[in-house]
């Protein structure tokens, strides 16, 4: 028994048409009973004319996703004239949506794959934030779009994750007096580092609550006021060396801080050089 032949024609990759066609074919035959040939990235009428010609010669049918109306109309008419079975997979949906939304489609091939690329960039950024969280691997500093620096409990980790969902690769480095920051931090352009400042009283309260949640004594050195002052002083020394912008996160939600950062990276760094972000 000869295999059935189906041409998949598209002005983009053709994956959508192929998926739909295979789903329909599964209702009639197994994968061994047909051959499917994809003709992607159609950019001119002659390719469509050739597809119909070969389909006619081989007794094949055509399934297509073409967002450009002139291509759809030509292929449908050419197939009708040559008596080739031809199915428009996306056209009726586009026409229905045009009526429903009262607006013209963009008629740009491949937009769904641009969305896919956005998705994969987001996943990559999230994985990056996890891998280079809390200074666990200093190699991330040089690879990051943004490096957040601050003492413990300044929301570095949740902020890194939030920004990762905006497709930014973020590393964060804890500032601890007993540990020198990675040397690569001082090799970065100043605007790629962002310091997260917090006032001592706020930090003291946050750390005490953290200790309680862990079932520990809230009088531990971690929440000691003198210790906190020492850490913040060391933080200021590092910031002065880096010359980077600083955001006061004492009374800000993660989303609020993230929006400030997003605004900062979309404007010239020098607008912020001599200014602390305390609003």
Give pLDDT tens digits for 142-172.
999 999 999 999 999 999 999 999 999 999 9
| Confidence grade of residue 108 (pLDDT, cut at 50, 70, 90) | confident
Based on the domain organization, do 149 and 194 belong to the same domain?
Answer: yes
From 60, 80, 109, the end of a domain falls on 109
- What residue numbers bound the domain in which 68 lies? 4-109
Domain assignment of residue 59, yes or no: yes
Q: What percent of the chain has pLDDT over 70?
A: 92
Based on the domain organization, do 53 and 126 belong to the same domain?
Answer: no
234-269 core/surface letters (b: 16 or more CB in 10 A; e: else)? bbeebbeebebbbbbbbebebeebbebbeebeeeee
pLDDT at 242: 96
Domain assignment of residue 256, yes or no: yes
On the question of pLDDT at 109 being above 80, the answer is no
Domain assignment of residue 134, yes or no: yes
Instruction: Confirm whether residue 184 is marked as ligand binding.
Output: no
Domain assignment of residue 277, yes or no: no
From 80, 109, 138, the end of a domain falls on 109
Based on the domain organization, do 197 and 125 belong to the same domain?
Answer: yes
Task: Give the domain CATH number at 249.
Answer: 3.40.50
The answer to whether the CB of 141 falls within 8 A of the CB of 184 is yes
Based on the domain organization, do 207 and 138 belong to the same domain?
Answer: yes
Instruction: Confirm whether residue 135 is marked as ligand binding.
Output: no
- Candidates 235, 161, 245; CA nearest to 198 is 235
Domain assignment of residue 92, yes or no: yes
pLDDT at 279: 43
| Confidence grade of residue 113 (pLDDT, cut at 50, 70, 90) | low
| Confidence grade of residue 174 (pLDDT, cut at 50, 70, 90) | very high
| Number of folded domains that form the chain | 2
Instruction: Confirm whether residue 179 is marked as ligand binding.
Output: no
Instruction: Confirm whether residue 151 is marked as ligand binding.
Output: yes
Domain assignment of residue 249, yes or no: yes
Instruction: Confirm whether residue 213 is marked as ligand binding.
Output: no
Q: Tell me the average pLDDT across 183-191.
A: 94
On the question of pLDDT at 278 being above 60, the answer is no
Backbone angles phi, psi at 5, to 5 degrees: -120, 130
Tens of pLDDT along 9-38?
998 888 888 999 999 999 999 989 999 999
H or E element, residue 222: none
Instruction: Confirm whether residue 156 is marked as ligand binding.
Output: yes
Based on the domain organization, do 128 and 93 belong to the same domain?
Answer: no
Based on the domain organization, do 136 and 223 belong to the same domain?
Answer: yes
On the question of pLDDT at 217 being above 70, the answer is yes
**DSSP designation for 213:** H
Based on the domain organization, do 29 and 146 belong to the same domain?
Answer: no
Domain assignment of residue 132, yes or no: yes
Domain assignment of residue 276, yes or no: no
Q: Tell me the average pLDDT across 109-114.
A: 66
The answer to whether the CB of 162 falls within 8 A of the CB of 254 is yes
pLDDT at 157: 95
Based on the domain organization, do 86 and 136 belong to the same domain?
Answer: no
Instruction: Confirm whether residue 155 is marked as ligand binding.
Output: yes
Based on the domain organization, do 45 and 158 belong to the same domain?
Answer: no
Q: Rounded to whole angstroms, what are the CA distances from 117 to 27, 69, 110, 113, 124? A: 32, 26, 11, 6, 10
**Residues in CB range of 101: below 8 A, 6 or more apart:** none
Based on the domain organization, do 150 and 201 belong to the same domain?
Answer: yes
On the question of pLDDT at 270 being above 80, the answer is no
Based on the domain organization, do 223 and 127 belong to the same domain?
Answer: yes
Q: Tell me the average pLDDT across 105-124.
A: 74
The pLDDT mean for the chain works out to 89
pLDDT at 107: 73
pLDDT at 201: 96
From 62, 93, 109, the end of a domain falls on 109
Based on the domain organization, do 93 and 223 belong to the same domain?
Answer: no
Instruction: Confirm whether residue 170 is marked as ligand binding.
Output: no
């Amino acid at each position: 028994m000869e295999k059935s032949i189906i041409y998949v024609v598209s002005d983009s990759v053709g994956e959508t048409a192929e998926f739909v066609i295979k789903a329909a074919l599964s209702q009639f035959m197994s994968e061994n009973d047909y051959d499917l040939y994809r003709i992607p990235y159609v950019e001119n009428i002659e390719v469509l004319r050739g597809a119909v010609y070969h389909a006619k010669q081989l007794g094949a049918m055509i399934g297509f996703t073409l967002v450009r109306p002139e291509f759809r109309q030509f292929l449908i008419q050419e197939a009708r004239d040559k008596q080739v079975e031809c199915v428009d997979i996306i056209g009726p949906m586009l026409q229905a949506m045009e009526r429903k939304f009262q607006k013209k489609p963009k008629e740009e091939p491949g937009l769904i794959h641009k969305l896919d690329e956005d998705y994969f960039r987001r996943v990559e950024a999230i994985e990056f934030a996890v891998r280079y969280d809390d200074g666990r691997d200093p190699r991330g500093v040089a690879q990051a779009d943004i490096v957040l620096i601050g003492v413990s409990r300044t929301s570095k980790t949740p902020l890194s994750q939030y920004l990762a969902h905006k497709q930014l690769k973020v590393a964060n480095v804890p500032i601890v007096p007993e540990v020198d920051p990675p040397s690569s931090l001082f090799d970065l352009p100043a605007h790629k580092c962002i310091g997260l400042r917090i006032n001592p009283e706020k930090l003291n309260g946050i750390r005490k609550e953290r200790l309680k949640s862990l079932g520990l004594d809230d009088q531990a050195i971690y929440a000691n006021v003198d210790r906190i002052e020492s850490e913040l002083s060391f933080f200021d020394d590092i910031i002065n060396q880096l010359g980077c912008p600083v955001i006061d996160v004492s009374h800000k939600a993660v989303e609020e801080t993230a929006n400030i950062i997003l605004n900062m990276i979309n404007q010239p760094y020098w607008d912020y050089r001599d200014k602390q972000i305390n609003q």
